[in-house]
Structure 1
Amino acid sequence: MDADPYAAERPNRRPASTHTWPAGRRIPALGEDSSWQGIPFQIRRMGPEQLPFVVAEHLKYFPDGFFARLGPSFLTAYCRTYLSSPHAAAYIAERDGEPVGFLVGVVAPEAHRRHVLEVHRRKLLVCAAAGLAVRPRLTTHFLRTRLPRYCRKLLPGRPADQAAAGPRGTTAVLAHVAVVEHARSRGIGDALIDRFVEDAADAGCARVSLVTALGDDGAGPYYERRGWVYRGETRTPDGRQLATYDLPLPLGLGTETR
């Protein structure tokens, strides 16, 4: 999906696994050993040392996003915003000490947007300008489809979205989830999603939202099997059609799963 630092980009590729955790299974704590089909792995908070892996996998599995097209330097700066923001979540999945998957998301979108503007705006602007300078066709596309909207979001004093009024009722956004090819179908993608859903519930969010591509490239059936609810379709400035899904979060979900 068309994305910027103030509204997280969502996954537009099929998730790595179609397995679901058994009903009533406790979600393992961060860093705790987990396994699926006998394959051990761990879910940890993402650190700066994992950014090269995350950026490489992002470029591999989400190459059509506007931020990915700006190049690795901008994408690294963009992914770093998830590490410093108290309103975002970033996880890495490891097997035998090696990263095999990641997930990034936002539990308070408006508060995260403000954090990005206050802390990362200069770096993102510099990296974006450098990326556009060597990509004239992308620059033309940016000027035609995105410049006015981005300028409005960069203006100081922009009124806060209603979601910033309080945690209850806020919609968390699952931005990206990916698992390397050789580690797929082992429940790692499910574990990453479950971890984010639990943390969103613990933060008081009422639901989690994402978008995925329509058609065979999308993951709609996967999310529907996991209880996500189809909410409609959108079209990006690039003409891609996306389906929106929500997962309602009952009060207390985060504590009930432990």
Structure 2
Amino acid sequence: MADMANSFQLTQAWSLLTSQFDDDILPITYVNSTAAIKSFVGDHGGVVVTSSNAKKIVSWALQRAKRLLFLPDQHLGRNTALALGLTPANIGLWQARANRLQATNPAALRVILWDGYCSVHQQFKVAQIAALRAQYPEIKVIVHPECAHEVVAAADEVGSTAAIIDYVQQAPRGARIAIGTDNNLVGRLIKQYPEKQLMFLNPFSCSCILMNRIDLPHLAWALDQLASGQPGNVITVNPEIASGAKKALDRMLSLS
């Protein structure tokens, strides 16, 4: 997802949008974005969000700016905006490849979404929910807000990774729940709660290869390297980029 928005594209978009709508635009970026994007957002008064705090921070931002530019995940942005009471007419889509804005009524816009998405969450469909409901009338469906809005609307619950885990933990014994998020997580939950009837919303969904690289053996190796004074795979960020990114992250932490 982070690769769907780069600083060159964002600079172009910002120039065109601010020339059309003046400077009353506040940029917001999902935490799944590059350091350079976070830096741009931080230097322009914006803030980082996570799927857990997006609703709170977007609500705050809407009180402070006439319009928001939300990137790179359009689905989290759309689901959050609609949950806060905005209408589809208040939401536009910035098409980065075409370098243009898609909107039915530009004057009514409050949130401009970047045309990005999570490839994993694109694999969940309303038809999958309907098929499971037909087979299991008692089933509950929970999905992540990176899913398309029609999928979120068809589900019983929507929540961040932490919210999904909490929902499963709180569910009664024997509860049948279909989960629409990365199948690595769903598989772990199925093993962790055998007394509950947990299911993949899409059992054939490709898992996130990037999240799959974060596991306990690699974490233990990283800690051992640090303890030995020989850290491996060190990532360095240009100090100027780091400074701007920290501004956006600090704003998020102060608001969360």
TM, length-normalised to structure 2: 0.26
Q: Give the number of the structure whose alpha-carbon radius of gyration is greater.
A: 2
**Of the two structures, which has the highest relative contact order with CA contacts closer than 8 Å and spacing of 6 or more?**
1
Greater helix fraction, Structure 1 or Structure 2: 2
Q: Quick check: which one's strand share is greater?
A: 1
